[in-house]
Amino acid sequence: MAEKSGFIGGVAETFKTVFWALLIAGAFRTIFFQPFWIPSGSMKDTLLIGDFLFVNKMAYGYSYASCPSVRVPQLGIDVGADDLCGVFKGSNERLFGSEPERGDVVVFRHPVTGRDFIKRLIGLPGDRIQMKDSLLYINDVPVKVEDAGIFVETMEPQGPLGQQPQCANGAVGRGAVCEKPRQTETLPNGVSHDILDIGPRGADNTGVFTVPEGQFFFMGDNRDNSTDSRFAQERGGVGFVDRKDIVGRADRVIFSSAGRSMLAFWTWRSDRFFKAIE
């Protein structure tokens, strides 16, 4: 009987350990950091498909969007932040809130679909944003840009979704060199970052976007391959993003894999491990 009790007691202790470990991990993810995989090339070359990072939720305080979302399509699981914390969704205020800064790389909930997006913060409340001939204007003043060479990658499927890159040097075959001109853009507050250009696109010239109070304007660094605030929500874009929909700030790439699975160690990008996001 003592042996049986010892076995049962051991199993109970194991369950207790697992329970508390999961509880602590859940609280850590909910309160402090959220893991995020980069699924698309909209932020190249700042972020590459297959980069893995933790989103700092403490950076801007907390709203309903700080609640975790769990999506496992293979199992039919699709639980969003609004499912868990939707009761708090109406307010645009944040607990322990601080304002995002221009140039921050931010994860936010899409205002319509609730999916997580990651883009760079370009426009603050009250700003006038416009694109003219691929050049960004903020409050009617063009930002400073400098040539930064050519961004080069291989034409091949990238990441779990097998996406093909877009190239400025035409339709190249698989395994060929894919090129995009790169510039360093400096925003009015002095934040500098690289942007890529593929070629003439409709969003290279826009009207003036005046950012409403309590909202923000986001753009991808891969300007010709990004669905962002330049595109209206009713047309599948992002539009303006409310303060309450912000999840947190991306500060550092923790891990990166160029393959379709993180287990394919031969595709790991060791030079991107713990790389600061600028």
Residue by residue, DSSP assigns 99-155 as ---TT-EEEEE-TTT--EEEEEEEE-TT-EEEEETTEEEETTEEPEEEEEEEEEEES
Phi, psi of 203 (to 5 degrees): -80, 5
- Grouping H, G, I as helix, E, B as strand and the rest as coil, residue 52 is strand
63-85 mean pLDDT? 64
What is the pLDDT, as a whole number, of residue 2? 47
Please, which residues have CB within 8 angstroms of residue 170's CB and are 6 or more apart in sequence? none
Is the separation of the CB atoms in 36 and 52 below 8 Å?
Answer: yes
Give me the chain's average pLDDT, please: 85
Identity (one letter) of the amino acid at 203?
A: A
Q: How far apart are the first and last CA of the chain?
A: 63
117-136 mean pLDDT? 97
CATH fold label, 34-276 = Umud Fragment, subunit A (2.10.109)
- Residue 167, CB half-sphere, CA atoms under 13 Å: how many? 17
Q: How confident is the model at residue 1 (pLDDT cuts 50, 70, 90)?
A: very low
Exposure letters 69-82 (e unless 16+ CB within 10 A, then b):
beeeeeeeeeebbb
pTM of the model: 0.83
What is the pLDDT, as a whole number, of residue 88? 58
Alpha-carbon span 183 to 185, nearest angstrom:
6
Residue 25 pLDDT more than 60?
A: no
Secondary structure E strands in 9-123: 33-37, 51-56, 70-72, 77-79, 105-109, 116-123
- Name the nearest CA neighbour of 67 among 86, 94, 48, 50: 86
Query: Is 42 tagged catalytic?
Result: yes
What is the pLDDT, as a whole number, of residue 55? 92
Which residue among the candidates 119, 134, 256, 257 is catalytic per the annotation? 119
What is the pLDDT, as a whole number, of residue 260? 79
123-127 mean pLDDT? 98
Residue pLDDT, tens place only, 42-55: 999 999 999 999 99
Residue pLDDT, tens place only, 190-217: 999 999 999 888 899 999 999 999 999 9
Residue 237 pLDDT more than 60?
A: yes
Residue 180 pLDDT more than 70?
A: yes
User: What are the structural domain ranges in the chain?
Assistant: 34-276
Torsion angle of the four alpha carbons 250, 131, 227, 81, in this order, in degrees rounded to the nearest 10: 50
What is the pLDDT, as a whole number, of residue 23? 47
Largest CA distance in the chain: 82
Tell me the percentage of the chain whose pLDDT exceeds 90.
54
Query: Is 244 tagged catalytic?
Result: no
Identity (one letter) of the amino acid at 156?
A: E
Residue 148 pLDDT more than 90?
A: yes
Which residue among the candidates 42, 226, 229, 256 is catalytic per the annotation? 42
Residue pLDDT, tens place only, 102-121: 999 999 988 888 889 999 99
Residues forming a β-bridge with 210? 128
Q: How confident is the model at residue 225 (pLDDT cuts 50, 70, 90)?
A: very high
What is the pLDDT, as a whole number, of residue 221? 98
